Structure 1
């Protein structure tokens, strides 16, 4: 596979180079031939999230440019966890971590190619740490780490007053050992990760130099933050997960659709594979007519398709159009519609009680404060059930009206809608 000489320039244009070791040396290495590189993911949860997606897509960019990926899922480091500002991590059982390793691997695999001259390889650091004795670890790895350098790491320094366990303090040794093991066993000479991992990344570079006298490379991608500096990737329920059971594809799509105007261009560069000319055209269109939200729509469509597939994205778009009166409810998937309505707001009714009339439905759903207000909404032509205008205040929906046998969609006017789940 021919190498792409513009790789580093493209990464820089996309804002993906927050820190690097020797940039000129890295450029020379990438131009000389297929570089073996790795990026690591610790299974500290049953799913990866938005921040991990940056690394997955960056790994794919390097592979598309002709370089050879090693995807490390940390069965060993996942047992400990990198130090964080909020305090000690809860240590998970070996069985839990092993299960999460498999889940994380399955989430990463669709993004990379495991065939061809630069096929991806999955590795687990438990393979080279599981049988390592404490004495060997201290003699062969620990002797290369000055304690003063470890104390100078930002997260460690911030935790010194509140307290940090030796377990978390030693995390940098384990991650650095990963680089040394992959360098020795597979010829890996490049590691990358998020900028919050820069101390660990450079720790690995330094360990390879001290232990084997070799020069290797590292770079860090920026943390993704909102305009106020807080981390992106949080929804009302927590992290924006890649697992559809933890964050529904509809909620995932809506997250991207609702990003701030000021961040659209940055996120299009980082999270899509759209070419530069197309992204710049979207930015120009967005700057001229931001109310059309062309950038957000492209971002939501492309990222949701990357993570959940084109068919799921089409279902989400159809559900979104239908909820705002632009499509037929009958052809919608009950799962997709249900996810959308739970995000927008919904109520549950017991099927055994029978379906109430439209006035009571509007009140139960919170679209009217009283039956009198609901009656006025109906008589003025502002009430809809499944996008069909209701003009009779005494109308009672039937079981045939339930989309997917479960859902009614109530709408008041053009934009206010709620779901009714009949169970």
Structure 2
């Protein structure tokens, strides 16, 4: 009988186990409670979090109970993992706002009805800790020598690791201990960059409580060149439609490299693995069909089927030379903007990240208005450019925007 671990390994999720054979046996024979922590450092999740949500969803579908732990307390400190600079300090109000936004997004992937999942916030036990008690209860179990060898601290040591950040590992270990006591949570899942922090919780429970505890890490979402996916020239790909439109979200997956199609289909969709392998084996022009399916499936999971269909329809209309702009991202400009240069207007509306980037695009022929290349960096748009009340702007090879006057 196969367990969820076999599914996760087959689909390429799992990177490391603390106790591989024990974990495989446990997940095959029992239904467990596990957790994944999310630090609310922004008011939306991004593509990196999406992988964790898929991992949680696979586990829940197999009958295991997820705890989504919001880091309302740890976000006050900031995780040093993978960072060369210290994270920006957030206010409690910022963090509370971010927690509420993220809760709504997580609910699209995890079923919280009938106690099938738990939403917790580590602010509940971290914010009122007694420091002396914490040091005696938890700090005594941590070796500073060993902590300094952890990957999550190495990069920060080069520039200077603050004592504030040094506490992060103790807090994450303490989170696992609290969840173990409250909900009999026996496993932590997370990205592989969290390995050192996750081991700290496993060892703390085993030493302090004398009970089994486990951790499993997921591979990070990287492309074939080893770079993290979900970043574009204009910033991160967010799950919030206000930050990244469903159309831009769809286009991101539609344009992944051929070599990344199999990994993305495996990790970010629920398509059967045989279908994933069939689609990934397509060659040359046929691989575009696989990319369309990838883009549709991922957009459907994040934004719903209706938005996925709209994005698909908009992309097809534009790439087939059609003029149906009903589903293309719409950007409004004021009449005052028409009095300045096109560059000013595009930078103000965030169509381009900066005016220098806009100049470069225009010089390379990368800005097209109503099928005509813009060649003058000082060009001004006038009302006569608006056909049927809008302008179709193309940025680069594949980004389209419908510009209207407010």
SS at match of 1:315: helix
Question: Pick from 229, 232, 251: which aligns with 1:232?
Answer: 229
Alignment partners' CA distance in 1, 2:11 and 2:208 = 35
Question: Pick from 21, 30, 33: which aligns with 1:33?
Answer: 30
Partner of 1:293: 288
SS at match of 1:111: coil
Alignment partners' CA distance in 2, 1:158 and 1:351 = 45
Aligned ranges 1:68-147 → 2 under 5 Å = 68-83=65-80, 84-116=82-114, 119-147=116-144
Q: CA deviation at 1:200?
A: 0.7
Change (3 A) 1:47 1:397: closer
Alignment partners' CA distance in 2, 1:81 and 1:147 = 19
Alignment partners' CA distance in 2, 1:410 and 1:93 = 39
- Number of aligned residues: 369
Change (3 A) 1:311 1:415: closer
Alignment partners' CA distance in 1, 2:170 and 2:253 = 37
Partner of 2:301: 306
Change (3 A) 1:398 1:252: closer
Q: CA deviation at 1:337?
A: 3.7
Moved more, 196-205 or 229-238: 229-238
Q: CA deviation at 1:243?
A: 1.0
Change (3 A) 1:410 1:183: closer
Instruction: Note the residue ranges of structure 1 that are not aligned, 5 or more in a row.
Output: 354-361, 372-395
Q: CA deviation at 1:319?
A: 1.5
Partner of 1:338: 330
Alignment partners' CA distance in 2, 1:416 and 1:8 = 39
Change (3 A) 1:370 1:69: closer
The reply to whether residue 367 of structure 1 matches residue 351 of structure 2 is: no
Instruction: Note the residue ranges of structure 2 that are not aligned, 5 or more in a row.
Output: 340-366, 377-383
Q: CA deviation at 1:422?
A: 3.1
Question: Pick from 247, 250, 253: which aligns with 1:250?
Answer: 247
Q: CA deviation at 1:161?
A: 3.4
Alignment partners' CA distance in 1, 2:400 and 2:140 = 64
**CA RMSD, 1 decimal:** 2.8
Over residues 189-212 of structure 1, what are the superposed CA-to-partner deviations in whole Å (9 max), with x where a residue is unaligned?
A: 111000000001111100101110
Aligned ranges 1:164-175 → 2 under 5 Å = 164-175=161-172
Over residues 19-53 of structure 1, what are the superposed CA-to-partner deviations in whole Å (9 max), with x where a residue is unaligned?
A: 01111101111122211010010001111111111
SS at match of 1:70: strand
SS at match of 1:164: coil
Q: CA deviation at 1:180?
A: 0.4
Aligned ranges 1:267-416 → 2 under 5 Å = 267-284=264-281, 286=282, 288-325=283-320, 327=322, 329=324, 332-333=326-327, 336-338=328-330, 367-368=372-373, 401-402=388-389, 407-409=390-392
Alignment partners' CA distance in 2, 1:69 and 1:87 = 32
- Taking structure 1 as the reference length, the TM-score comes to 0.81
Alignment partners' CA distance in 2, 1:308 and 1:191 = 27
Alignment partners' CA distance in 2, 1:417 and 1:32 = 51
| Mapped contact 1:256–1:300 kept (Cα < 8 A) | yes
Change (3 A) 1:253 1:283: same
Alignment partners' CA distance in 1, 2:334 and 2:320 = 22
Change (3 A) 1:9 1:367: same
Change (3 A) 1:91 1:81: same
Aligned ranges 1:150-161 → 2 under 5 Å = 150-161=147-158
SS at match of 1:160: helix
- Taking structure 2 as the reference length, the TM-score comes to 0.84
Q: CA deviation at 1:240?
A: 1.2
Change (3 A) 1:42 1:306: same
Q: CA deviation at 1:155?
A: 2.9
Change (3 A) 1:210 1:338: same
| Mapped contact 2:72–2:95 kept (Cα < 8 A) | yes
Q: CA deviation at 1:366?
A: 8.0
Alignment partners' CA distance in 2, 1:101 and 1:283 = 37
Q: CA deviation at 1:420?
A: 4.4
Change (3 A) 1:418 1:88: closer
The reply to whether residue 180 of structure 1 matches residue 174 of structure 2 is: no
Which has the higher Rg, Structure 1 or Structure 2? 1
The reply to whether residue 61 of structure 1 matches residue 67 of structure 2 is: no
Alignment partners' CA distance in 1, 2:119 and 2:337 = 49
| Mapped contact 1:348–1:420 kept (Cα < 8 A) | no
